[in-house]
Chain A
Amino acid sequence: MILDYVLLGFLIICAIGTTYAKRLLDTVIIFMAYSSVMAVIWALLESPDLAITEAAVGAGVTGILFFVTLKKVHALKGTRD
């Protein structure tokens, strides 16, 4: 029960965090954290199928796609520039 509240609170903080993060890299990382927590919530809600899918897709593939995009639009500091 308390765990639910903690996780939900974390989700909301992450969601607000994506709005206010200054660098795009931070935004994407926060979003990936959001997805991982979401996977935990699916597991708590007794839907392991969703948990696996969300972990593989939300935190995995979507994250990779966002990172590739950031690299292509030169929003990653330190790799070039």
Chain B
Amino acid sequence: MKNDAGKWEKFFKWINGETTLDSVILAKSRRKRFLKRKLRQQKAQIMANKLKRSKRKIENVICLIVAAIFIGILLYTASGLPICGRWENPANNEVTKRYIEKGVEETGAVNLVSGMILDYRAFDTFGESCVLFTAVICVAILLKRDKNNTDITEDTETAEDDAISNADGNLILKLSAKIVTPFILLYGIYVILNGHLSPGGGFSGGAIIGAGLILYTTAFGQESTRRFFTYETFKKISSGCLLVYCFSKGYSFFTGGNHLESMIPLGKPGNILSGGLILPLNICVGIIVACTMYGIYSFFTKGDI
């Protein structure tokens, strides 16, 4: 009855023109949603507490025992393995020998690891870039703003946070970011370009550049990064680089598989322009990784690039 009376009151109000229908319905649904969420939260709390006490303990003990046995078996297995650090181990066989002794000559890269992952076993590395690409697409599916993924409270929170960080100026952060970011980016570029000559390469360099971009964004806000890096550029750059990667690797697999001579000169080992396809591939991977890392970060924080 009480409820009905409420409804009638609202109805009269509406007839009298005091409220509009939309606002009534909206307020109602919003309150309902809010209540439901709160209820869920409480339920989750109670459940968590209840479960922790009873069932969990027994399961844990059983799992612990099983895992202990498992670790024991693995340790026993490993105890029969060849001793670490010896030259005669089976892992150091003719494959290793060729990679080391002929690596420089065949791939043109002085850094043998780089030569190995981008030339001898390039298919793995192609798969690896695809994993990264897939991951960023998945993060975009999950976190890019859409109608399933909007939360008013969260939006207000981020807006407030932005306001706070803009208000107090964040002087220390901004100043240090201004000084440090160029050096981070420079270092990242150095690591990428010297991937075939010294430790590092596309992936680590790209991660460093990505970290630099993230630092810049945290200091100056996303708006400042958006001036030169939007979602559209992100899409174009990363897919463009992956396509270049795909085609150049496709070319070398095609020529290799059909026993054709590759037309790409290897250059003089030790020079910056050497190593055949390794340098361009490293640059592509670096750009992809930098875009990906920055992209994932901005999807996490703002839900958009």
Whether A and B touch (Cβ < 8 Å) is answered with yes
Q: Which residues of A contact B (CB under 8 A)?
A: 47-49, 51-53, 56-57, 60-61, 64-65, 68-69, 72, 80
Residues of B within 8 A of A56 (CB): 204, 207-208, 211
Task: Write the nearest CB–CB distance from A32 to chain B, whole angstroms.
Answer: 13
Task: Write the nearest CB–CB distance from A38 to chain B, whole angstroms.
Answer: 14
A60-B207, A64-B214 given; A51·B199 CB < 8 A: yes
Q: Determine if A68 and B204 form an interchain contact, defined as CB atoms under 8 angstroms apart.
A: no
Q: Determine if B300 and A49 form an interchain contact, defined as CB atoms under 8 angstroms apart.
A: no
Q: Determine if B293 and A49 form an interchain contact, defined as CB atoms under 8 angstroms apart.
A: no
- For B294, the closest partner residue in chain A by CB is A61
Kindly identify which residue among B114, B210, B301 contacts A61, using a CB–CB cutoff of 8 Å.
B210
Q: Which residues of B contact A (CB under 8 A)?
A: 111, 113-114, 154, 157, 191, 199-201, 203-204, 207-208, 210-211, 214, 293, 296-297, 300-301
Give A61 to B293 CA distance when docked, in angstroms: 7
Residues of A within 8 A of B293 (CB): 61
Kindly identify which residue among B113, B154, B204, B300 contacts A57, using a CB–CB cutoff of 8 Å.
B204
Q: Determine if B113 and A49 form an interchain contact, defined as CB atoms under 8 angstroms apart.
A: yes
Q: Determine if A65 and B300 form an interchain contact, defined as CB atoms under 8 angstroms apart.
A: yes
Residues of A within 8 A of B301 (CB): 68, 72
Q: Determine if B211 and A60 form an interchain contact, defined as CB atoms under 8 angstroms apart.
A: yes
Q: Determine if B111 and A49 form an interchain contact, defined as CB atoms under 8 angstroms apart.
A: yes
The main secondary structure of chain A at its interface with chain B is: helix
Q: Determine if A49 and B296 form an interchain contact, defined as CB atoms under 8 angstroms apart.
A: no
Give A60 to B191 CA distance when docked, in angstroms: 16
Q: Determine if B114 and A49 form an interchain contact, defined as CB atoms under 8 angstroms apart.
A: yes
Kindly identify which residue among A47, A48, A68 contacts B300, using a CB–CB cutoff of 8 Å.
A68
Residues of B within 8 A of A61 (CB): 207, 210-211, 214, 293, 297
- For A43, the closest partner residue in chain B by CB is B199
Residues of A within 8 A of B200 (CB): 49, 52-53
- For B201, the closest partner residue in chain A by CB is A49
Give A49 to B198 CA distance when docked, in angstroms: 8
Kindly identify which residue among A52, A65, A72 contacts B296, using a CB–CB cutoff of 8 Å.
A65
- For B113, the closest partner residue in chain A by CB is A49
Task: Write the nearest CB–CB distance from B155 to chain A, whole angstroms.
Answer: 12
Pick 29 A–B contacts, CB within 8 A, sort by A. A47-B113, A49-B111, A49-B114, A49-B199, A49-B200, A49-B201, A49-B204, A51-B199, A52-B200, A52-B204, A53-B200, A53-B203, A53-B204, A56-B204, A56-B207, A56-B211, A57-B207, A60-B208, A60-B211, A61-B207, A61-B210, A61-B293, A64-B211, A64-B214, A64-B297, A65-B296, A65-B297, A68-B300, A69-B300
Task: Write the nearest CB–CB distance from A27 to chain B, whole angstroms.
Answer: 17
Q: Determine if B297 and A68 form an interchain contact, defined as CB atoms under 8 angstroms apart.
A: yes
